[in-house]
Amino acid sequence: MVLAAIPLAFLAIFFAWPVAAIIGRGLSVRGIREVLTDPGLRSVAWFTLWQAALSTALTVAIGLLPAYVLARYRFAGRSLVLALVTVPFVLPTVVVGAAFLALLPASLDQTVWAILIAHVYFNLAVVIRTVGTLWGQLDPRVEEAARTLGASPRQVMLRVTLPLLRPALLAAASITFLFTFTSFGIIRILGGPRHPTIEVEVWRLTTQAFELRAAAALAFLQLVAVTGLMLWWSNVQSRQAVTLRLRPRGTATPPRTARQRALVASTVAGLVAIVVIPLGRLVAGSLRDGDGLGLSAWRGLGAAPGRGPASRPVADPLAAVGTSLRFAVLATVVAVVIGGSAAVAIAASRRGGSLLDAGLMLPLGTSAVTVGFGLLITMDRRPLDLRGSWVLIPIAHAVVAVPFVVRAVLPTLRSIDPRLRDAASTLGASPARVWLEIDLPFLRRALVAGAGFAFAISLGEFGATSFLTRVGNETMPIAIARLLGRPSPANLAQSYALATVLMVLTLVVILAVDRLRGDAVGF
Amino acid sequence: MLEVDGVTVRFGDRVVLDEIGLAVGAGEVVGLLGPSGSGKSTLLRVIAGLLVPDRGRVAWDGDNLRTVPTHRRRFGLVFQDHQLFPHRDVAGNVGFGLSVAGRPQAEIRRRVTELLDLVGLPGFERRGVASLSGGEAQRVALARALAPSPRLLLLDEPLGALDRELHDRLALDLRRLLKEVGIAGLHVTHDPEEADAVADRVVSLEQLGR
């Protein structure tokens, strides 16, 4: 009971209350009428919707071929390619945004195209992995049966394969739509002021225009839209009627004909190029020095902070690294304590557990901007007057990270054979001793993995932090965005250098977690 | 008639089919015997055009089929585990071949009814595929393969997954059916009794190769 109380209290104060506050403020007739009648805000909502729909359609369309190739063909280096494809998805959005700023020509800067391309890049792994997993388990003989019945390759695709892949296609499309609908970092960096989405507009109204009522109304509508999407999705999922005959071991075979080998080789080459080139350009951009190459941007990280037009420091990159690491440690500790005790409580209880489980997953579907905005408008009065305090930043990071910790720990906890605990207690161990001797050793790896996720999430968190940051406590993503907001060649190179640091740190943490969990990367 | 000549298939270093030659005459049902893993299914896949052989020729009435893709060969194929389309009902499965050929709806409905009568499953049109028993599913698979009027029917252990009693009954049904339709057939099995019950002539894979 005590174990359940800690995460419940944390969630109630730092998630439910802020969200309720948004609803309370946003649910005013005046505010909503303002949003619905203001042509500017209506065009923001419309843009948010269509860019997300188009990003999703493009990502699914582009992801199908690599999903097919990676699912159906076995070749040397396949699991490496799969791991590589996942890299963009684990990178902070600010890093992806900076990478495409470095890659794309100036003519695409602040256009819809830049946003769409970065969204595809970021979400391609969702399509390839979700659709590829199912595709690899579909029995190819169903398609062969269709061919012997006279169906052309096109007809097989449209009438057999795609209908059978429907659950995975729907899942991948929903996740991609959710991510692109609530996209913040990529839009802030690549869209500029001309292409705000609802998320960016909530941030702008709050932190620059100080129009809290409009911001709350907009955030409320966003919350309604996202909740509606999630409800629709769980409804669709529960109505999956078709029982598929799957082959869990996969159906990949080596390519046989010259055409198949060419298909595999060109797909792999394309994927590697797509993933590596933007990141390569980011690193190259950090080495720009005037017209040539040089390390001045890197030296500048430690020495003189970048200067804005008024020769006021825009951000201090090296301090940002320190701030980020400090906040990440704090957020990790909080997330592991809260998430760990929640997981133990969920596993121990019979009926209330699923409720707590569902409640803990809510922050996952809520956008980070909602969390940040909600905390900003609630934590400003007694007894919790944390206005302007840096403490809110690691707390917000922990709220975002807790679901991941629970997901990392819970399966391990459930897999412990209860008879082990029974055996220990019949041998005279007290309940506390049983937990120490049996559960903890099993849990250690899962907890460390959850901690790794929390650390990486905190390092890259941008949406919530944008609302809570104050001068002097910029994290790396905030500093990168600030430097990119005042684009002089020196600032640009320095932001690329800082984004490179953030990229490397994130990848090292994720790689370590992956090693630790020992899952083979693959379908 | 079907002619198979010198067909060789290798998977890596393993030679699965070694210079296989075989002929099936018009309206003739040939039983092809061989132990599991002997390459019988591979031979059927080569004939159906699902697998390109390393060497050798598959011809129909003297025309080499090398460049003819599976969907233009008009060879039906029945798998051991039916491989019905799980997202379509029984009528949707049986009518699939006619539907992709662009036949009108009324004709498809008529033909589906006719074939379900033929395989002894009248009134099964709207049944879901998951609700069928093993024997029923196999009959539907047979009806599906026959619906577009193929010129040759390839049967890959069509009764292999059924229990003994059902197996014996269906073997006789299958023979009657093939003769009624008057179609040429190549029936692959590891069971000599089943081959005798279904086919006009029985050959064993080992005799066909080098």
Measure Cα distances from A506 to A189, A388, B66 in Å: 19, 27, 53
pLDDT band for position A517 (cuts 50, 70, 90): low
Q: What percent of chain A has pLDDT over 90?
A: 33
pLDDT reported for residue A351: 61
A165-179, A354-368, B62-76: the lowest-pLDDT one: A354-368
For the cut 90, the answer to whether the pLDDT of residue A388 exceeds it is no
Nearest partner of A10 among A340, A446, A377, judged by Cα? A340
The set of residues, in sequence order, having a beta carbon less than 8 Å from that of B20 and lying 6+ positions away, is B4, B6, B7, B8, B43, B56, B205, B208, B209
Give a yes or no: residue B112 inside a domain.
no
A208-212, A357-361, A369-373, B87-91: the lowest-pLDDT one: A357-361
pLDDT band for position A490 (cuts 50, 70, 90): confident
Number of A/B CB contacts below 8 angstroms equals 82
pLDDT reported for residue A206: 87
Q: What is the C-alpha separation between A208 and A204, in angstroms, rounded?
A: 5
DSSP character at residue A242? P
Contact B79 A141 (CB under 8 A): yes
3-state SS assignment for residue B78: strand
3-state SS assignment for residue A135: helix
Shortest distance between the Cα of A365 and any Cα of chain B, in A, equals 31
Give one DSSP letter per residue of B6-65, joined into a string. Answer: EEEEEETTEEEEEEEEEEE-TT-EEEEE--TTSSHHHHHHHHHTSS--SEEEEEETTEE-
Query: Which B residues, 139 through 178, put their C-beta within 8 Å of a C-beta on chain A?
Result: 144-145, 147-148, 150, 154
For the cut 70, the answer to whether the pLDDT of residue A232 exceeds it is yes
Whole-complex ipTM? 0.91
- Option in A144, A148, A257 nearest B52 (CB): A257
Give Cα A296 to chain centroid, integer Å: 32
Q: Which one has a higher pLDDT value, A517 or A474?
A: A474
Amino acid identity, residue B116?
Answer: L
Most confident of A147-151, A202-206, A381-385: A147-151
pLDDT reported for residue A518: 56
| Boundaries of domain holding B174 | 2-74+150-208
Name chain A contacts of B96, Cβ cutoff 8 Å.
146, 149, 151, 159
Give a yes or no: residue B36 inside a domain.
yes
Give Cα A471 to chain centroid, integer Å: 26
A16-25, A94-103, B150-159: the lowest-pLDDT one: A16-25
Give one DSSP letter per residue of A450-512, joined into a string. Answer: HHHHHHHHHHH--HHHHHH--TT---HHHHHHHHHHS--HHHHHHHHHHHHHHHHHHHHHHHH
pLDDT band for position A362 (cuts 50, 70, 90): confident
- Interface probe for A, chosen from B41, B58, B70 (most Cβ of A below 10 Å), is B70
pLDDT band for position A314 (cuts 50, 70, 90): low
DSSP character at residue A253? B
Shortest distance between the Cα of A173 and any Cα of chain B, in A, equals 20
Contact B86 A151 (CB under 8 A): no
Return mean pLDDT, chain B.
90
> What CATH number is given to the structural domain containing B188?
3.40.50.300
Measure Cα distances from A337 to A261, A448, B180 in Å: 50, 12, 74
Nearest partner of A389 among A472, A477, A482, judged by Cα? A472
For chain B, say whether A234 makes contact (Cβ under 8 Å). no
pLDDT band for position A377 (cuts 50, 70, 90): confident
Q: What is the C-alpha separation between A383 and A69, in angstroms, rounded?
A: 58
Question: What is this structure's pTM?
Answer: 0.85
Contact B74 A163 (CB under 8 A): no
Q: Which one has a higher pLDDT value, A377 or A72?
A: A72
β-pair partners for A253: A73
Nearest partner of A223 among A83, A27, A456, judged by Cα? A27
Provide the CB-side half-sphere exposure for A243 (13 A, CA).
5
For chain B, say whether A149 makes contact (Cβ under 8 Å). yes
pLDDT band for position A461 (cuts 50, 70, 90): very high
For the cut 60, the answer to whether the pLDDT of residue A458 exceeds it is yes
Give a yes or no: residue B166 inside a domain.
yes
β-strand pairing of B184-189 with B152-156:
parallel
Which stretches of A287-391 are DSSP H helices? 296-302, 317-348, 352-365, 368-378
Q: What 3 state SS string does A110-126 have?
A: CCHHHHHHHHHHHHHHH
Give a yes or no: residue B49 inside a domain.
yes
Give a yes or no: residue B92 inside a domain.
no
Name chain B contacts of A142, Cβ cutoff 8 Å.
83, 85-86
Tokens found for residue B16: 């699965």
Shortest distance between the Cα of A153 and any Cα of chain B, in A, equals 8
For the cut 50, the answer to whether the pLDDT of residue B43 exceeds it is yes
- Option in A149, A159, A160 nearest B148 (CB): A149
Q: What percent of chain B has pLDDT over 70?
A: 100
Name chain B contacts of A151, Cβ cutoff 8 Å.
71, 96-97, 100
Give a yes or no: residue B174 inside a domain.
yes
Q: How many independent structural domains does chain B possess? A: 1
Tokens found for residue A344: 């133990």
pLDDT reported for residue B161: 72
pLDDT per position as a tens digit, A401-451:
998 888 888 888 877 777 888 888 888 888 888 878 887 887 888 888 899
Domains belonging to chain A, first-starting first, are 1-25+299-523 (1.10.3720.10), 48-195+224-286 (1.10.3720.10)
Tokens found for residue A140: 């190819």
For chain B, say whether A257 makes contact (Cβ under 8 Å). yes
Tokens found for residue B132: 């069928």
Give a yes or no: residue B145 inside a domain.
no
Q: Which one has a higher pLDDT value, B90 or A295?
A: B90
DSSP character at residue A207? H
Q: What is the C-alpha separation between A361 and B146, in angstroms, rounded?
A: 52
Return mean pLDDT, chain A.
84
For the cut 50, the answer to whether the pLDDT of residue B127 exceeds it is yes
Region of residue B61 (phi > 0: left; psi between -120 and 50: alpha; otherwise: beta)? left
Tell me the average pLDDT across B93-103.
94
Give a yes or no: residue B184 inside a domain.
yes
Tell me the average pLDDT across A139-155.
93
Name chain A contacts of B100, Cβ cutoff 8 Å.
146, 149-152, 155, 159
pLDDT band for position A309 (cuts 50, 70, 90): very low
